[in-house]
Amino acid sequence: MKKLLVLLLALCLPAGCAPKQLPEEELPALTVIGVSQMGSESGFRVANSQSIHTTFTEEAGYRLLFEDAQQKQDNQIAAIRKFIQQQVECIVLMPLCVTGWDSVLEEAKAAGIPVILVDRTIQVEDESLYAAHIGSDFQWEGEQAVGWLEETFRDTAGPVNILHIQGTLGSSAQLGRSAALEKAIDRHENWTLLAQLNGDFIQAKTYEVAAQWLDSQPAPPEIHAVYCENDNTAFGAIQALEERGYTCGPEGVRIVSFDATCQGLTYCLEGKISLEVECDPMMAPLVEEVFQLLKEGGTPDKHYYTQERLFTPEDLTREFIDQRAY
């Protein structure tokens, strides 16, 4: 009799004590967000993607559709069209380049789906095709870097030879940072642009093109500064220079870089990078704020610029670098 009672209790308990499951139709609906990330070419980009993934979670009420375009605009356009078909509530776009977006963004607008640009900007005939841009002022960043170079070489009477490593050509980050340097070279008669090399924001490619250029010179060129448009291009340039006997730092080649990732700041603390211009990738919380404002019927500002700083070796400690999120 006891065995029978225990068996009956065992059969009944799971049904009676199990957590009550809500019918599927009563579960809270998730807000579907489509994100087109340009790629994963740099430490900045990886941190930027991590920021998106940690913000737009199911626990926070979102279903995240994330597409990595692998550095191809065609892939981004295809992803946006896919998001439109999936009827997402918002599209977040990290645009690879400045132009070529009008048609696909017109399709998103016709579908009633707002588009938020993150990091880089675009050029479109109708600015209503995107709701807001959240990112950096790349022209300002370049001007800060150039100002530091001007102060550093202010008392140099002889030539100042600068090697320029550019990012992805046609991107707003490349255009803004390049424009600042080019204007400064025009202002200073003793500044010479040795070469402009396309590093595409990628460390391995920068190493390759820098090594090839250095090896093609009839004699080792005198280089006073290398203007690198992100940390990964700086790492590649430093490797190519050091393998050929150059010293990077105050007693040799001054390296200017952008992003201020933990690895970049470590190079700066060690003296290999002379100046780091911060470019903050952790923008997803602000993206969420703008989306919620749109969802409530509000009108966001057209541009939101992140607050950024400059770092030299004297500004840094190991403890400061270790506590950074990227």
Per-residue pLDDT tens over the stretch 100-153: 999 999 999 999 999 999 999 999 999 999 999 999 999 999 999 999 999 999
Residue 58 pLDDT exceeds 80: yes
Domain coverage including residue 113:
29-136+281-295
Share of the chain above pLDDT 90, in %: 90
Question: How far apart are the C-alpha atoms of 260 and 291, rounded to whole Å?
Answer: 27
- Does residue 58 lie within any of the structural domains? yes
Whether 121 and 185 share a structural domain: no
Q: How far is CA 288 from CA 111, 118, 134, 276, in A?
A: 21, 11, 11, 28
pLDDT, one tens digit per residue, over 274-318 is 999 999 999 999 999 999 999 999 999 999 999 999 999 999 999
Q: What's the pLDDT band for 20 if we cut at 50, 70, 90?
A: very low
Whether 150 and 164 share a structural domain: yes
Whether 209 and 231 share a structural domain: yes
Question: How far apart are the C-alpha atoms of 309 and 141, rounded to whole Å?
Answer: 9
Whether 169 and 247 share a structural domain: yes
- Does residue 48 lie within any of the structural domains? yes
Whether 285 and 269 share a structural domain: no
- Does residue 8 lie within any of the structural domains? no
- Does residue 9 lie within any of the structural domains? no
Give the chain's domain count: 2
- Does residue 271 lie within any of the structural domains? yes
Q: What's the pLDDT band for 325 if we cut at 50, 70, 90?
A: confident
Whether 165 and 210 share a structural domain: yes
- Does residue 1 lie within any of the structural domains? no
Whether 90 and 202 share a structural domain: no
Question: How far apart are the C-alpha atoms of 167 and 139, rounded to whole Å?
Answer: 14
Q: How far is CA 128 from CA 74, 108, 115, 151, in A?
A: 22, 11, 10, 41
Whether 176 and 114 share a structural domain: no
Whether 155 and 246 share a structural domain: yes
**β-strand partners of 276:** 257, 311
What is the pLDDT, as a whole number, of residue 181? Answer: 98
Whether 317 and 182 share a structural domain: yes
Residue 14 pLDDT exceeds 50: no
- Does residue 115 lie within any of the structural domains? yes
Single-letter amino acid, residue 200:
D
**CATH assignment of the domain containing 288:** 3.40.50.2300
- Does residue 221 lie within any of the structural domains? yes
Minimal CA–CA distance to 290: which of 89, 72, 80, 63?
A: 89
Q: Is the pTM of this model over 0.85?
A: yes
Q: What's the pLDDT band for 214 if we cut at 50, 70, 90?
A: very high
Whether 72 and 221 share a structural domain: no
Question: Per-residue pLDDT averaged across 240-248, rounded?
Answer: 98
Question: Per-residue pLDDT averaged across 256-274, rounded?
Answer: 98
CA atoms within a 13 Å half-sphere pointing along the CA-CB vector of 66:
17
